[in-house]
Structure 1
Amino acid sequence: METLLDWIAAVPDVIWSGVIASVITLGGVMLSNWSNTRRLVRQLGHDANEKQKDRNAVLRREVYLTAVEEFVRASHKMGTLSQIDPTKSNFSEGFQDFFVVAAKLQLVSNASTARLVGELVTTYGEVLLEMIGIVQPIHDVQADIAIADEAYARYVEESRRVLTAITQFRESARTESAVYEALQRSFEFSQEQANKHSQARLTLRDQQTAMHFELTKSLMPILKRIAEVQAPVMVAIRQELDLDGDVGDFRRQAADNILRMDSAMNAAVQKMEQANN
């Protein structure tokens, strides 16, 4: 031990100063590297979080904007349900995109917004079930009109065929009275049936017009009901998108729009009633 101490004591102070300085420098470098590493790890973690937030924001924005587009389309399609042929397409087929985007919206939105969207989806489901009963008589009349159209066209074509046969009979100077009378009876029957189905078609179209009028009267309160449920969803989406403007003012504007739409609907119904009287 004394030998070691003697050896250390024999080392010049200048050398020890250099060693100590080197150790201090090395320690400073290690401390600096450790601090830089921690700062880099934190920075990378922060950047990753920010990028994830940006990706989520972009995803939510796309879903929100798509949802707004589908809300508009769904409201428009509600007014065209009577024109759908139930034998060729599903009654609710035009609303599939709406229900899909609503499910996406509920997945990425806040809990409060998701509840509002759920209420809107439920309202649309209820309305569609109600509309089935409302438009079914119109679809039945449309089917009857199609049958009358087909029968009318068939008997008109038959009348033309028989008339051509009568013309040929006369031009060929034939004298078989029984044949001529049979052709004449066939022509008169075809004409009678064509007139019958033509009149039936006109009557059915009058019924269809009256039914469309009643449908319009029924549809207006339904659209108002949808608008009242949809307005809070639009406000919630606007809040989540952090759009500029007063949300309260937007809510009041939506309520005013509903009142204006209700007034316009009532005026339209009155005009249609006056036109039918």
Structure 2
Amino acid sequence: MIEFLSVVKSVVGLFYSIPPVIWSGVIGSMLALSGVYLTSKHSYKNLKMQLEHDSIEKSTERSLKLRQDSYMLVAKELVSAEQHLANIPMLDILKENPAKGTNAFFAAAAQCQLVASPRTAKLLMIFANKFSMLSIRAISSVHHIFNAEVAAELAKDSIDRNKIEFDRTLLKMTELNQEIGSEKANYDVLKSYLDFYKEEMSKGWDQRGVALNEKQEHTLNYSRSLVDDLIALTSEQIEVLVSMRADLGFDSDIEEYRKTLFEQHQSILKEMEHALAKTN
């Protein structure tokens, strides 16, 4: 205990032996160092908060950009899918898959649901499912148009074949008339052939006319049914578009959207009927 007190006294004596000028310098240095430390600590906190804020902001910007691109792609592919469905009656379904033109929309809708807001994702899923059923109904009904087109092509082939035989027989009859002493019996046989081919061509033209009329009627019915189905989906489509715009920070006029979509669908039907009228 005595030794400890002796050590303490020695240390205290050492401190007292230091001149006041040195102590003032030491204290000043300590205060300056403390100020630097406190300033650095505050700056570090501010920098950390700024970096965290920038990271969150950049992440938000990336998410918003990804969402915006996905929404734009869905809107674009939906228009393409509707146009494809309207043009299906013009396709050669032996060479082209009528369902292929809608695949891009369904792929875009599926991807969009991964980045969309919960409300938009749900609305888009409902709309995509209903649009899928609409597409199936449309594609499955096109076989009536295809059957009529096949009948028209078969009739045309029959006409072409009989036309060839008709021309060949007519040429033989002409040659026979030019021969001296040709028998009337041979001429009568050729004449019967000529009448037969002529009658077959007439039947072919009638059959082709009926088939083309059926094709036109089925095509018009298809177009009307398609427009009716699209109009029936207008409410769901508007809800999706309005929700997308809200996610992106844009206001929307629902009634104006409804009016625009209705006019768009009516214009599709009008153009289709106009195009079909030209074939009469």
Short-chain TM bin: 0.7 to 0.9
Which of 38, 41, 49 does residue 42 from structure 1 map onto? 49
CA RMSD of aligned residues (A): 3.1
CA distance in 1, matches of 2:187, 2:149: 39
More deviation in 194-203 or 78-87? Answer: 78-87
Deviation at 1:260, TM superposition (A): 6.2
Name the aligned partner's letter for residue 252 of structure 1.
Answer: E
* Paired residues, number: 265
More deviation in 153-162 or 36-45? Answer: 153-162
Q: What's the counterpart of residue 254 of structure 1?
A: 257
Q: What's the counterpart of residue 123 of structure 2?
A: 116
Residue 68 (str. 1) matches residue 75 (str. 2) = yes
CA distance in 1, matches of 2:152, 2:26: 107
Q: Which entry has the higher C-alpha Rg, 1 or 2? A: 2
CA distance in 1, matches of 2:57, 2:124: 28
Q: TM-score, normalised by structure 1?
A: 0.82
Deviations 1:146-166 (A, max 9, x none): 222222223223333444455
Segments of 5+ residues of structure 2 without an aligned counterpart are: 1-6, 275-280
Which of 145, 151, 155 does residue 158 from structure 2 map onto? 151
Deviation at 1:63, TM superposition (A): 1.3
Deviations 1:101-135 (A, max 9, x none): 11122111111111111111111111122223432
> Taking structure 1 as reference, are residues 261 and 31 closer, same or farther at Cα in structure 2, changes over 3 Å only?
closer
> Taking structure 1 as reference, are residues 263 and 128 closer, same or farther at Cα in structure 2, changes over 3 Å only?
closer
Q: TM-score, normalised by structure 2?
A: 0.81
> How does 1:96-107 map onto structure 2 within 5 Å?
96-107=103-114
> Taking structure 1 as reference, are residues 267 and 30 closer, same or farther at Cα in structure 2, changes over 3 Å only?
closer
| Percentage identity across paired residues of the two chains | 25
The answer (yes or no) to whether the contact 2:123–2:240 under 8 Å persists in 1 is: yes
Deviation at 1:239, TM superposition (A): 0.8
The answer (yes or no) to whether the contact 2:138–2:222 under 8 Å persists in 1 is: no
Q: What's the counterpart of residue 274 of structure 1?
A: none
CA distance in 1, matches of 2:142, 2:181: 56
Q: What's the counterpart of residue 221 of structure 2?
A: 214
> Taking structure 1 as reference, are residues 261 and 10 closer, same or farther at Cα in structure 2, changes over 3 Å only?
closer
Residue 58 (str. 1) matches residue 26 (str. 2) = no
Q: What's the counterpart of residue 91 of structure 1?
A: 98
More deviation in 195-204 or 205-214? Answer: 205-214
> How does 1:2-13 map onto structure 2 within 5 Å?
2-13=9-20
Deviation at 1:38, TM superposition (A): 2.1
